[in-house]
Structure 1
Amino acid sequence: MSLRWYTVVVDCHDMTAQSRWWAEVLGWPIAYEADDEVVVAPPHALDTSRQVPREERGPGLVFVQVPETKTLKNRLHIDLAPANDDDQEAEVRRLESLGARRIDIGQGDVTWVVLADPEGNEFCVLSPRD
């Protein structure tokens, strides 16, 4: 028996805005939308032209509405990595143009950049890698 990492659930004050923001950041489509959740998934996971193997499905991001706003540092965050031939700083500027902001969580002098999404959830942009 084995488990498959299916999704990461993100609590949001505005699930519609957050899901669309992350879809734009990642270049992923909205895979499912209902009154209580929005799912964003990698395009290859939604490929209907072939039977996608179980290990290639997901993980996606599920956005759910909650009444409270974020108040503390995340215990879990997303790391994003540009491709080897991409420019980390250019990606950071692109994310900032979409509404992300640089934040200091005490990371010091490191090779990654810590940002917050429009609702304040921390994530990192790593140095380029495959």
Structure 2
Amino acid sequence: MATRLVQITMKARDDSALGRFWAQALGWGVDSEGPGVTNLEPVGFVCPDPVAVCVDIVAGPEPKTVKNRVHLDLATTSTARQTELVARLKDLGATLADVGQGDVPWTVMSDPEGSEFCLLTPR
């Protein structure tokens, strides 16, 4: 039996604020907030879901200092939709990022705490 990925955990200086950013970016809900941890789930999620992956954002005092070794990739449905999402994510507090990607069809951004993620075009 294969093991299934069910949770991604991120560190953040302010788990609540970063949780709100990612919930809005993904169109998800904040399932729970406790001292130092914010759990995000897709709307309508019921555990155990056969395919969904949830996100926990855990408070940590240390700032981000180097390029992420793991990052999230978000899918888009068209180049026009990618452009719309870049603008919306900038409004939420994301910034464009240069991690040495060169001329590529995806857009690299950083969340409000500096963690990189990509907006992919359809493949």
* TM-score greater than 0.5 by the shorter chain: yes
> Comparing both structures, which one devotes a greater share of its residues to strand?
2
TM-score (norm 2): 0.91
Q: List 4+ stretches of structure 1 deviating above 2 A.
A: 1-4, 83-86
TM-score (norm 1): 0.86
In the alignment, is residue 71 of structure 1 matched against residue 27 of structure 2?
no
Displacement, 1:54?
A: 4.2
Identity %: 41
| Aligned equivalents of 2:49, 2:109: Cα separation in 1 | 32
Matches within 5 A, 1:13-92: 13-46=13-46, 54-56=49-51, 58-84=52-78, 87-92=81-86
AA partner of residue 87 (structure 1): R
Give the unaligned 5+ runs of structure 2.
none
In the alignment, is residue 6 of structure 1 matched against residue 6 of structure 2?
yes
Q: Which of 109, 119, 123 in structure 2 is aligned with 1:125? A: 119
Contact residue 79 and residue 121 of structure 2 kept, 8 A? no
Contact residue 86 and residue 128 of structure 1 kept, 8 A? no
AA partner of residue 91 (structure 1): L
Which structure's CA Rg is the greater one?
A: 1
